[in-house]
Structure 1
């Protein structure tokens, strides 16, 4: 889907912060660092967007069960765009080349348009445009997404970001939520439950290996990621629209974990009440907006 020869990066800088983006590779953020310290997993240079630091989730997040969903009485099939996942996952935007609309030394605006023509209708059956603004300022990164329904019909919609944080040895994580979705054998949500003690990060604690690939509900506070040995802390403050949080913690040896602010539950499109689980319905011409700010600061390094 991608051509290796055109996978070039755009670099933004502001003080100690440096951020790179590859528009052709899903518009992904390929590196984010402060004074040379990588906050996100740096891109390995391959043609896989899943090996980058962060990508956009649009027009839905995570998996769609059974490879289809219903909207206003009509059933729409979806195909998987990832060879590594049997079910449709993460929307369309991460699998498309984006266009550069505006570029500055510390800012970038990317755009993407989708038309459900031919096989494209199996990627997503509605026309849309999405805009992603990235700005380095005030010791952090400001991200803004705008998703506009350009179809003649209403469409269900969701937004989010999929950042991969580096472990960097002993890493501490903190976030609050009201409950969590438990998963079935297909890694689709089966039922809600209270957050068990081993998954409770309401007080900052070492990440370890909780084995999470779950969607938490009711996030109200910013997420904090702290690398005490290296003296770096990130505060991720997403807009109220992104009140779900997907947390993915593969084995520590893989060297990364993901904390994804998203607008709806995994597989919300297939749930009995998609709206109650965060899915928006956009009328023709209507726009959905979401923001996320990563505040990055140096702290006193300590031995853990």
Structure 2
């Protein structure tokens, strides 16, 4: 473990694997930023050829330090989900609410209680709605302890600066093991009322070949949530079947991305041996990435993949966008967990690489 320059008031932490397989694809290093909500900045990947590449779309460490140093475009930590892999807590995706005059906040209903959330994202078109996006720890400074191949953090989040109806303690761990990268987040409710909670992860997977048109996505999901447009990207409440459409990625070898624009939330996940599994396949580079989670609370996967970019963002998350809105069909599970007083809940993800054809 090496300590690198400070970002967000804490040193970046570089991890190195100690038990790599002798050959084949494997994650060899990772860089974690405890000063930016324990986001993963980079993961170094050994390809089937033996060459090394960066698995995540992210700037070099020194440039990332400048990008994440604050400023008008980093309100509420926004820059943390522009690259790398941010953690999204206590909600993922979007929450709408009433804009509060004279502030950059909204008032939203969360689990039947009022919450004041940062109005930190929204559409770019004139008059487009602005809303709360991707949680409340994007710029949090998390105390940590690190070893050669793992880093742990513990954050007394409380009520997230008075913004959330409920309070949590959060424990984090990234670990390199057997060629894979493992992530675990555990939340504990520290108040005598239920804690509403959504957790997600926002990694930008870089395509080693750089050729997005031939890249493939495998995502066994029965439905996707319709959105109003790809500017505001707000759900309409309609759940659209994926089978037989351009959004059907459920085949064993997935489907080619081609020139399809994606900023879509998939749900109705079909689990495999108890795991929700997504694969990003790069046939030109001969490698695939598998993202899997045993966490039953993961009900959705958001995929962001603009055709002109050489990356695919895969976000396993508890909740759909706008989880508390009345737009959803009666009985729809929009994904937010509800942790009882003193209760705990864990979010786990395993990231591994494999040679295509194996």
Q: Which has the larger radius of gyration?
A: 2
Matched, 1:212 2:262: yes
Q: Secondary structure at the match of 1:245?
A: strand
Aligned pair 1:99/2:143, yes or no? Answer: yes
Indicate if the aligned counterparts of 1:139 and 1:297 stay in contact, CA closer than 8 A.
Answer: no
1:1-26, Cα deviation, whole Å (9 max, x unpaired): xx858463211111351111111123
Q: Deviations over 1:129-148 (max 9, x none)?
A: 22121111122111111112
Instruction: State whether structure 2 residue 146 is matched by structure 1 residue 146.
Output: no
CA contact (8 A) 2:15 2:148 kept: yes
CA deviation string 1:180-230 (max 9, x = no partner): 100124322111111162111112222223222121112224111122222
Structure 1 residues 6, 93: closer, same or farther in 2, change over 3 A? closer
Q: How well do the aligned residues superpose, as a CA RMSD in angstroms?
A: 2.6
For residues 112-131 of structure 1, what are the structure 2 equivalents within 5 Å?
112-116=155-159, 120-122=161-163, 124-131=164-171
Q: Is the 8 A contact 1:268 1:277 kept in 2?
A: yes
For residues 197 and 177 of structure 2, the distance between their equivalents in structure 1, rounded to whole angstroms, comes to 29
2:73 corresponds in structure 1 to none
Write the mapping of 1:75-114 to structure 2, written as runs, cut at 5 A.
Answer: 75-81=114-120, 86-100=130-144, 102-114=145-157
Sort the Cα spacing of 1:278 and 1:300 in 2 relative to 1 into closer, same or farther, 3 A: closer
3-state SS in 2 of match to 1:121: coil
- On the 8 A contact 2:215/2:256 being kept in 1, the answer is yes
Unaligned runs of 5+ residues in structure 1 are: none
Change (3 A) 1:92 1:71: closer
Q: Assess, with a 3 A threshold, how the Cα gap between structure 1 residues 148 and 84 changes in structure 2: closer, same or farther.
A: farther
Contact 1:159-1:290 within 8 A present in 2 as well: yes
Give the equivalent residue in structure 1 for 2:333: 276
Structure 2 vs 1, CA of residues 39 and 202 (structure 1 numbering), >3 Å: closer, same or farther? Answer: same
Partner Cα separation in structure 1 for residue 355 and residue 175 of structure 2: 19
User: Which secondary structure state, in structure 2, belongs to the residue aligned with residue 164 of structure 1?
Assistant: strand
Q: Which residue of 2 aligns with 1:285?
A: 342
Secondary structure of the residue aligned to 1:95 is: coil
Return the alpha-carbon distance in structure 2 between the equivalents of residues 287 and 275 of structure 1: 24
Is the contact made by 1:29 and 1:52 (CA closer than 8 Å) also made in structure 2?
no
